[in-house]
């Protein structure tokens, strides 16, 4: 039976609260490590030298969620502002917070079963109807939804490609070439081949002190995948206000490719959609790049 906790503003399932409250309500002997793993799964927290921090760049989202959790479980989490991290070549300046999980509070939370869930059902129709009901027609629904999506900044979940599958030999070659190019600019990028991901490829969220990480599924990789994922990092390095990026986005808007990507990623709007379209174009052009006389997108 699916027990879900919904956000009353959007009608969307709140996956963090579903996992966290589900753990609180059903587990008798709770422990800090299990709670940390839930937070890490949802890109809320990360550890370095056994100290927990709020994951960049999700700080604002995380602080808002902790306020919501505080109303249900007072004192369970506490955060402390440390400093502003400086802007670097692959990340904007951001506030750095440490995180503490109160072991005594955690161990004294009584499991209350699934009665507190917003809905418990195996019927997808019931779930869909509930979503429409709680979402209603509030004016701020879309803005809040965009905020939920925006917390995935510096990530990519590549699930759209019309190109044929790529040989892994070429994937290794292209990824090494691109890694070397980024390294010359001072950016070290890790590439992991991971058959467990559902997507063709993805960029993991930035974590404190960690290199940007690209994951590629060898079972699904296409000819444009490697260029596409590196393209996401490149776009975020420059920013959407960079003249080159801004011009490319403008030229791609309202093209056939723009509408194809919008249909493939209905959850993306505005800037996030623009960046996905551009990354897709970079992937396609990279896959057919002409070394001697590249066009504008291929030069990008």
Across 70-74, 158-162, 288-292, least confident range? 288-292
Q: Is the pLDDT of residue 290 over 60?
A: no
Q: Is the pLDDT of residue 138 over 80?
A: no
Output the six-digit token pair for 141.
């629904």
* Average pLDDT along the chain: 78
pTM: 0.50
Q: Is the pLDDT of residue 108 over 80?
A: yes
> What is the pLDDT at residue 159?
63
> What is the pLDDT at residue 100?
95
Confidence grade of residue 179 (pLDDT, cut at 50, 70, 90):
very high
Cα(228)–Cα(191) distance, integer angstroms: 13
The β-bridge relationship of strands 51-54 and 94-101 is antiparallel
Task: Specify whether the CB–CB gap between 118 and 9 falls below 8 A.
Answer: no
Q: Is the pLDDT of residue 299 over 90?
A: no
12-24: pLDDT as tens digits: 667 888 889 888 8
Cα(56)–Cα(85) distance, integer angstroms: 10
Q: Is the pLDDT of residue 226 over 90?
A: yes
Output the six-digit token pair for 181.
């190019």
Task: Specify whether the CB–CB gap between 144 and 9 falls below 8 A.
Answer: yes
Strands, DSSP E only, in the chain?
2-4, 45-48, 51-54, 77-85, 94-101, 119-121, 156-158, 190-193, 201-203, 213-216
Q: What angle do CA 225, 228, 232 make, to 5 degrees?
A: 140
Cα(283)–Cα(184) distance, integer angstroms: 21
Cα(56)–Cα(87) distance, integer angstroms: 12
- 32: buried, middle or exposed (CB in 10 Å: 19+, 13-18, 0-12)? middle
Looking at the chain, the whole-number percentage of residues with pLDDT higher than 70 is 71
Cα(191)–Cα(282) distance, integer angstroms: 18
Across 76-85, 152-161, 226-235, least confident range? 152-161
> What is the pLDDT at residue 119?
43
Confidence grade of residue 89 (pLDDT, cut at 50, 70, 90):
low
């Amino acid at each position: 039976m699916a027990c879900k906790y919904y956000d009353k503003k959007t009608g969307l399932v709140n996956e963090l609260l579903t996992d966290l409250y589900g753990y609180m309500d059903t587990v008798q002997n709770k422990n800090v490590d299990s709670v940390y793993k839930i937070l890490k799964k949802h890109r809320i927290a990360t550890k370095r030298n056994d100290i927990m921090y709020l994951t960049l760049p999700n700080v604002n989202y995380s602080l808002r969620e902790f306020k919501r959790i505080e109303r249900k479980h007072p004192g369970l989490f506490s955060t402390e502002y440390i400093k502003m991290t400086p802007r670097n070549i692959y990340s904007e300046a951001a506030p750095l917070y440490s995180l503490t999980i109160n072991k005594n509070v955690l161990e004294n939370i009584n499991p209350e079963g699934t009665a507190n869930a917003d809905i418990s059902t195996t019927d997808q129709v019931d779930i869909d109807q509930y979503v429409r009901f709680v979402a209603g027609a509030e004016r701020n629904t879309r803005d809040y939804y965009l905020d939920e999506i925006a917390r995935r900044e510096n990530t990519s979940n590549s699930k759209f490609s019309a190109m044929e599958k790529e040989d892994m030999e070429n994937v290794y070659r292209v990824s090494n070439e691109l890694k070397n190019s980024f390294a010359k600019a001072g950016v070290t990028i890790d590439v992991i081949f991971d058959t467990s991901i559902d997507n063709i490829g993805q960029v993991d969220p930035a974590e404190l002190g960690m290199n940007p990480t690209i994951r590629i599924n060898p079972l699904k990789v296409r000819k444009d995948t490697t260029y596409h994922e590196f393209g996401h990092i490149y776009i975020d390095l420059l920013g959407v206000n960079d003249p080159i990026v801004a011009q490319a986005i403008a030229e791609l808007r309202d093209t056939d490719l723009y509408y194809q990507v919008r249909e493939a990623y209905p959850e993306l709007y505005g800037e996030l959609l623009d960046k996905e379209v551009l990354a897709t174009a970079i992937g396609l052009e990279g896959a057919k790049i002409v070394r001697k006389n590249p066009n504008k997108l291929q030069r990008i």
